[in-house]
């Protein structure tokens, strides 16, 4: 390697000068809260008696790991993530395949698909809470017109969980469609033309050409969607508050309750740190998958 010339050194210093304000703001907004939460997780810090007098070490982490309610919230979150990601992937891939073969009106289809994604999650929760109201909601009114009894969408444990899942699917499936459609649009046409000449059916082309070439895109799409699904909070807070009981008590909302209802900020920070480690691991896997896809 050759040494940098004075002009290159000056350009680098100028570049750092330009980026320094943005980096400082990023550190203040992102890095400082993470460091504060990480430090607090090692102390018996409560909102009733805030302070760093009692060092707990890994006591908050051990307490969180043995907390049955926390483990239950983690299990509900796993079920939620598996449900929303798998269903969204199936719907998203089907819609993306259909749109990829569509020549006319793509702009209109894109507009319709992106409308739910552009709505704020809080607005989505409020809107669906009104639509699914047991007595005033339009869904139960429509059911009553065909003689079906009203459904307590958010009041029954099993029903509430799947209602939240379906609302999240309605809100986020467009994201899956857009990413998968971008991957399908980038595939070369030559393998498909050769397969048609050889007499391959549409199903054979999909199974032997589309899926193998789409593997990196599918992996990246699933990982991104899983990362966002694990952090779901807004819809739960607005629609169910984790209820009925603990049927929809996802881990992000549980951590919020532990901090601002139970007032145990030290343990809540330990739980948040454990969640951060999981998300960081998935982000590292996502980064590695993206780098591998670029190299291929």
pLDDT digits (tens, 9 = 90+) for 113-159: 888 888 999 999 999 999 999 888 999 999 999 999 999 999 988 89
Q: What is the pLDDT of residue 22?
A: 87
The Cα–Cα gap between 24 and 16 comes to 11
Residue 202 is predicted with a pLDDT of: 85
> Which residue has 């603990």 as its token pair?
246
Region 71-78: mean pLDDT is 95
What percentage of the chain reaches a pLDDT higher than 70? 97
With 80 as the cut, is the pLDDT of residue 88 above it?
yes
State residue 287's pLDDT score: 86
Kindly state whether residue 192 falls inside one of the protein's structural domains: yes
- In terms of pLDDT, which residue wins out, 295 or 140? 140
Q: What is the mean pLDDT of residues 193-201?
A: 87
Average pLDDT over residues 96-112: 83
In which band, very low, low, confident or very high, does the pLDDT at 100 lie, cut at 50, 70 and 90? confident
180 assigned to some structural domain: yes
**pLDDT, mean of residues 207-211:** 90
Residue 168 in domain: yes
Is 105 among the domain residues?
yes
**8 Å CB contact between 209 and 191:** yes
pLDDT band at 172 (very low <50, low <70, confident <90, very high): very high
Measure Cα distances from 186 to 6, 191, 217 in Å: 43, 13, 10
pLDDT of residue 294: 64
Q: Which domain holds residue 217?
A: 42-295
Mean pLDDT, rounded, for 23-27: 86
- Assess if residue 229 is contained within a domain: yes
Per residue in 216-261, pLDDT (tens digit) is: 889 889 999 999 999 999 999 999 999 999 999 999 999 999 999 9
Q: For residue 23, is it within any domain?
A: no
In a domain, 110, yes or no: yes
Cβ–Cβ < 8 Å for 74, 67: no
Lowest mean pLDDT among 68-72, 112-116, 160-164, 240-244: 112-116
Is the pLDDT assigned to residue 1 strictly greater than 70?
A: no
Lowest mean pLDDT among 50-59, 81-90, 264-273: 50-59
- d(Cα 96, Cα 101) in Å, to the nearest integer? 9
**In this structure, what CATH number is given to the domain that contains residue 165?**
1.10.3720.10
Structural domain contains residue 3: no
**Confidence band of 295 (pLDDT split at 50, 70, 90):** low
Domain count, the chain: 1
284 CA to centre of own chain? 15
């Amino acid at each position: 390697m050759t040494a940098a010339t004075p002009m290159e050194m000056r350009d680098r210093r100028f570049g750092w000068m330009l980026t320094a304000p943005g980096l400082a703001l990023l550190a203040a907004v992102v890095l400082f809260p993470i460091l504060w939460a990480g430090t607090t997780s090692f102390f018996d810090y409560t909102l009733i008696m805030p302070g760093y007098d009692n060092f707990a070490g890994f006591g908050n982490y051990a307490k969180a790991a043995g907390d049955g309610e926390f483990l239950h919230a983690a299990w509900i979150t796993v079920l939620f993530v598996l449900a929303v990601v798998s269903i969204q992937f199936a719907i998203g891939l089907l819609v993306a395949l259909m749109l990829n073969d569509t020549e006319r009106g793509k702009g209109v289809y894109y507009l319709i698909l992106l409308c739910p994604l552009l709505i704020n999650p809080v607005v989505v929760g409020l809107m669906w809470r009104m639509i699914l109201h047991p007595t005033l909601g339009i869904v139960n009114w429509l059911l009553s017109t065909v003689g079906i009894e009203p459904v307590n969408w958010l009041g029954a444990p099993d029903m509430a969980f799947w209602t939240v899942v379906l609302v999240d699917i309605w809100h986020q499936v467009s994201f899956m469609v857009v990413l998968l459609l971008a991957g399908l649009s980038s595939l070369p046409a030559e393998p498909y033309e050769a397969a048609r000449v050889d007499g391959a059916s549409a199903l054979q082309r999909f199974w032997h050409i589309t899926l193998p070439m789409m593997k990196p895109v599918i992996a990246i799409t699933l990982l991104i969607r899983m990362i966002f699904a694990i952090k779901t909070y807004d819809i739960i807070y607005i629609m169910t508050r984790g209820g009925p009981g603990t049927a929809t008590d996802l881990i992000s909302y549980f951590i919020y309750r532990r901090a601002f209802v139970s007032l145990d900020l030290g343990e809540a920070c330990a739980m948040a740190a454990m969640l951060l480690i999981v998300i960081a691991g998935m982000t590292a896997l996502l980064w590695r998958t993206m780098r591998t896809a670029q190299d291929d």
